[in-house]
Structure formats: structure tokens, C-alpha cells
Structure 1
């Protein structure tokens, strides 16, 4: 996103959301001039500034400072999202609480009037009779409006809604962080390929994507993932892009070093993702090759029973280094099955044109955060799992990392073991 677009569109939206959250959690819960109002205001402003500073700070700041800014800034990305959503739901609760408080205040006013005003006959006459109309001290007073409600009761309502919303948002973000930072789930799927040679029946590909090494996760995370991958005892490991998140080898190379310990019968393969190109794809390709992974840059290799191909990510097109499907898939033996590694699911359109049997992708994170996991289907052919596109199958892993907030909700991370089967076996 360009700086001008960010300033024109995103900053006003962020400012508006922050104002709404401040109004409901600070202004409506404190008295004017109180120390708590000042503290709350400063905290909201500070968190907003950290949120804006965290993404560029990953590359612009020294590592310790980037981490110090990144944790509160990125966590607040998810925090303000779910706090704002909880507060919006809380508007319904606010209506009922205010109504209950007004009824309570009206009843209190009626009881007070009944106790303090003696009954007396009215001197007016009932129209048409000439008879005096008695007046009772228990006549109901006018209902109390929201503006007339005692300030302490309005504070009570504001605090109740803010507390409930804050608790809901905190629990949501806490659970999402636990999911994102915990070990990914190991999934197993079986995919039949009509052209797969019987010799390759049962071939196991351990698929991983979107590790996103950054200022929040590093070498320990990579070591954990390598141990999990090796534990699946795969025939082949496929890392389909976004190993890093906008970082140079000098900053995150050490965090990626445990990949050198990957163990698979036919080795480990790597294709670029969009974040490699944001970071400088050439340096990461050289580094990954030095760790022992084979990079497939618009090329294919013959494996027992099928061909394995890999193409560059679409974002490389802007750097004249994009996918070349003809180089990777053209001129091959059409009687052999071919499995394509491509970072983005949308690349399946070209894969289908070239008669690919199975494409393995990542990129989507499964949507990462609710409700985006439901909205991504508007722009992606498949957000997660297995789908068919013509004669081509597409499998999309949710990946193991995260972009931005270290939170996953409705899209748990996964490593998938894809077992290929042949109907001729």
C-alpha cells in the first residue's frame, strides 16, 4: 500500500475507530477532569501510535526496539478490532440498561412524590359537571429521560458495557494469541491423482507455508516447526513461500537456520512468496539454497512416479521476476502426473490451463482473523483445504505463522501431510 493511500484511507478509519473506543471506554466511564480520564486518553493515543509504528518499525528500527514496539502495536491491531466489535454489540446492552435505569429512576421519583406530597382536592371542576376533581399524590410523574438520568447511573451503565466488552475482547485476543503462537496442527489428507504412477502410490509431501519470521517470532519457532516436519517422516518437504515477513537475511537469517536440519527422503523444496519479493527475493533464495533446500524458480524436477514443478510468486512480476508457467510446465510428458508448488491459490487458473494435476499453495492464512476468514472467499478461489478447478485439484494450507497481529481466530495454523495415491496401484 502506498503512503498516500495509507494516509488518505487507513489513517482516518483508524482515527475514527480509536475515537469510538475512547468515547465508550474512557469518556463514558470517567468524570470530566479526573485522573482516570487523562490516563485512559493517553493510553488510547499511545496504543494507536504504536499500532501505526509497528509495521514500518520492523525494518526501520533496531531489532530490540522493533520488538518492543511490535508486541504492543501488533497485539493492539487485534485488540482494537475485537474491542470495537464487542462495544458495537454492547450498544444493544446499553439500550436495555439505560431503559432499566430510567424505569428505576421514574419509580423512585413516584415513590418520593407519594411520600412527600399530601393528597388534596383540586379546585378545578370536571368539564361539564361542575364537580371538583380529586387529585392524588400518587399520580405518576413524567418518565425520566436519558438526559435527566443521574450522572452516577449513566456512569454505571457506561462502566458495565465497557467492562463486559473489554473482558470479551481480552478473552478473544488471548485465545487467538494462544492459537497463533502454539504448535500448528498436523493434518493428513489423501489425494488421488489419475496419472500418478503406481510406484509413487502413498508418496507423502509435508506441506508448510507462511512461517513469517519477524520481530515477534524467531529461531525457536523455526526449530519447533522443523521438529514437527521431521516427525511426519515425509518423502518430501514443500515450503510454499513467505518464510519471512519483510526482513533482510542479515536480520532474520539466523532465525531460519534450523531449516538446514529438515529430513525427507527426496529432500526439501522452496518457492517464493510475496513477502520474499518485498524483502529481496534473490538474497533469500541464495540463503535457503545454502541451507540445503532446493528452490524451484519456474522449473520442474522428475521424481519417482510424477513431476514436481514450482513457479515464482505473482508479486515478482513487478520486478520482472514473476511466474513463467511455460518454463515450469511446458514440453513435459503429459502421461506423467505433475504437482505444482505456487504460493498463491489464484495461480491455479494458469495451472489448470497447463493440465496440472495438483497445486499446493498457502498465502491466505485461512483468513487468520474472524470475520476475514469468511470474507476472503470473495477474492480467493480457495481460502483453505481441497477444491477442484476443472481437472486440477488445489490444496491450500492455512500456514503456520501470522501477518501483523500474533493472533489467529477461526483459522488455526497447520502443517499438512499430503499423501498421493494412484488408482492403478
Structure 2
């Protein structure tokens, strides 16, 4: 049986949040009836302000369950320096989720989140040793018959057509090799505010398995980039026996809601790779 995920990202409550896009997202998400909603970070625009967290929490509560969520760099305070350095994700833990390494499982499916956000940078991300250990321990539970999906906020590289200078995950090669070690099928990211589908083999050609990279644009803010400037987007992902169908959904201005504008078929490779 097919398994459907709604992948949204970069909500950014507070300026430049788009309330109309959020209302339509909620309605369309319930109509789609996904088996899982994934939110890949940046719940708020500025984590320093309690009102933005209340809005983000309310939005999350109005979306369908079950959900798997991870934090983004905007979910770390910018102005509250002491909190940024010593308790960067305290507000995220209080308002969104106490679990920085969530796991969701269904028959034949495992979705594993990891936190790339931290307080030592404004924009970039990193998988710290504790996150790598947690990710390794969780992925080791699942055999080659399980379709494995990892979720974090920062991508391991920029899409080929992306012209803006952005900081990605700083230890990308180490993180990509970890995905390959456990034959992870798909990585879901956000951060760049543009939709994209690619493969880690485009970054490190010598990988044994390769992991599909599926990126969501900003789903409810006005900060879409490039061809998605001013647009709101998300992904509807359907996992099937022999691969995954990824539909990029875009909010239509004529009132039709989030509708497919592109589709990718990502065939599943033979998974003879075992963790080592």
C-alpha cells in the first residue's frame, strides 16, 4: 500500500508570514489526508518573540496528525545572546517538541529526524557528534527492506541553479556518508526557500548507494527564492514498492489552493548495502 507524506517547511510565523497561505495549507492538508506530515524547520521568523511561537504552535496543532518535526536556524534566538549560546533550542522544545531526534515508523517505512540548528551561527547548520550518534543509533534499527527517510533543516549542498550565497550544513561530506552507510533512501530538507529534487551522488559521486534529496520551498512565508519568489510551496511524497513519487505543490493565486506544478519519479535502488 502506498504511504503519503506532506512535506512542508520554513513556516516563519512573524513577518513575512502569509496567513492566507497558512489557512489554505491547513484546509488542503486535511483534504489530502496524508499518512504523515513532515515539517523541516524554521517555525518562526525570530525565536526571541513569544507571540511568534504561539502562532507556530497553533498552526502545528491545526495540521493533521501524525507529524514529525525538526528545528531550523530561525528557531534559535538571534538577539538573546545568553539563551542563544547556552539554551538555543529551549523555546523550540517548550513550544513545538521536546524531541530533537524524532522517529516515525509504519510498515516498511522509517522516518528519522535530526537537528542541524545550533546557536553558533546565524544561517548555517551542523550535525554535532550527539546528533550523529543519535542518527546512527536510530538508523541501525532498520534493515534493508525498510524505506528509510531522514529529515533535517539544512541541505548538504545548494541546487545547481541556486545563485544566492547561503550556508548549508558545514560537515556535509560526513553527513552524506552516514546516510550512505545505512542506505537511506531519501533526505528531506528546507532552508533555501525553493523546491528541488536531486541525489547525494551529485555531491559525492563515489557513494555506494546514494540518497535522494527532496527540498521544500517556504510553505507559508513571502520569502520564496528565485523562480519561487513570492510563492508558497510544499511537497506531496508517495512511497510505493519500487520508488517514490514527489509532487511539488504550489499555492495558486486563483483560489485553487496548493496544486502540483512538477513531478519526479525516484526509483528505488537495489539495497544490498549493509551498515558497516
Common fold, TM-score beyond 0.5? yes
Corresponding residue for 1:272? 71
Preserved CA contact (<8 Å) 1:223 1:259 = no
Q: Is the 8 A contact 1:300 1:329 kept in 2?
A: no
Q: Provide the secondary structure at the position in 2 that maps to 1:324.
A: helix
Question: Residue 189 of structure 2 corresponds to which residue in structure 1?
Answer: 361
Deviations 1:177-209 (A, max 9, x none): xxxxxxxxxxxxxxxxxxxxxxxx410000000
- How many angstroms apart in 1 are the aligned matches of 2:188 and 2:224? 24
Q: 1:181-196 residue pairs with structure 2 within 5 A?
A: none
CA shift for structure 1 position 345:
1.4
SS of equivalent residue, structure 1 residue 270: strand
Could you tell me how far apart the structure 2 residues matched to 1:337 and 1:407 are?
Answer: 30
Residue 415 of structure 1 deviates from its aligned partner by: 1.4
1:343 paired with 2:153, answer yes
Calculate the TM-score normalised by the size of structure 2.
Answer: 0.62
Which residues of 2 match residues 204-215 of structure 1 at below 5 A?
204-215=4-15
Matches within 5 A, 1:128-277: 201-217=1-17, 221-248=21-48, 250-256=50-56, 257-264=58-65, 267-277=66-76
Q: Which has the larger radius of gyration?
A: 1
Task: Tell me the SS of whatever aligns to 2:59.
Answer: helix
* Matched length: 199
> 1:48-79 CA distances to partner (integer Å, 9 max, x unpaired)?
xxxxxxxxxxxxxxxxxxxxxxxxxxxxxxxx
- What are the within-5 Å matches in structure 2 for residues 64-75 of structure 1? none
What are structure 2's unaligned runs of at least 5 residues?
Answer: 79-87, 157-171, 202-206, 244-276
Following the alignment from structure 1 to structure 2, what is the Cα–Cα distance between the partners of residues 313 and 325? 10
- Distance (Å, rounded) in 2 between the aligned partners of 1:320 and 1:353: 19
Match of 1:194 in 2: none
Cα distance in structure 2, aligned partners of 1:328 and 1:407: 30
Q: Is the 8 A contact 2:5 2:238 kept in 1?
A: yes
Instruction: State which of 290, 303, 318 in structure 1 corresponds to 2:106.
Output: 303
SS at match of 2:227: coil
Cα distance in 1 between the residues matched to 2:189 and 2:49: 24
Q: Distance in 1 between matches of 2:183 and 2:127?
A: 23
Contact residue 212 and residue 244 of structure 1 kept, 8 A: yes
1:332 paired residue number = 141
RMSD across aligned positions (CA): 3.0
Question: Structure 2 CA distance, aligned partners of 1:361 and 1:321?
Answer: 13
Q: Secondary structure at the match of 1:308?
A: strand
Does structure 1 retain, via aligned residues, the 8 Å contact 2:150–2:188? yes
Range moving further from structure 2, 295-304 or 307-316:
295-304
Where structure 1 has 5 or more consecutive residues not aligned to the other structure, the ranges are 1-200, 290-294, 367-382
Give the structure with the larger helix fraction: 1
Report the CA distance between 1:268 and its aligned residue: 1.2
* Cα distance, 1:236 vs structure 2: 0.4
Partner of residue 99, structure 1: none
Report the 3-state secondary structure (helix = DSSP H, G, I; strand = E; otherwise coil) of the residue aligned with 1:231. helix
The answer (yes or no) to whether the contact 1:205–1:234 under 8 Å persists in 2 is: yes
Do the aligned residues in 2 keep the contact of 1:338 with 1:358 (CA within 8 Å)? yes
Q: 1:296 Cα shift?
A: 4.7
Counterpart among 203, 212, 218 of residue 393 in structure 1: 212
State the secondary structure of the residue aligned to 1:365: coil
**Displacement of 1:253 after TM fit?**
2.7
SS class of match (2:93): helix
Q: Name the SS for the 1:355 alignment partner.
A: coil
Q: Greater share of strand residues, 1 or 2?
A: 2
State whether residues 71 and 117 of structure 2, in contact with CA within 8 Å, keep that contact through their aligned partners in structure 1: no
Distance 1:352 1:401 in 2: 32
Q: TM-score, normalised by structure 1?
A: 0.42
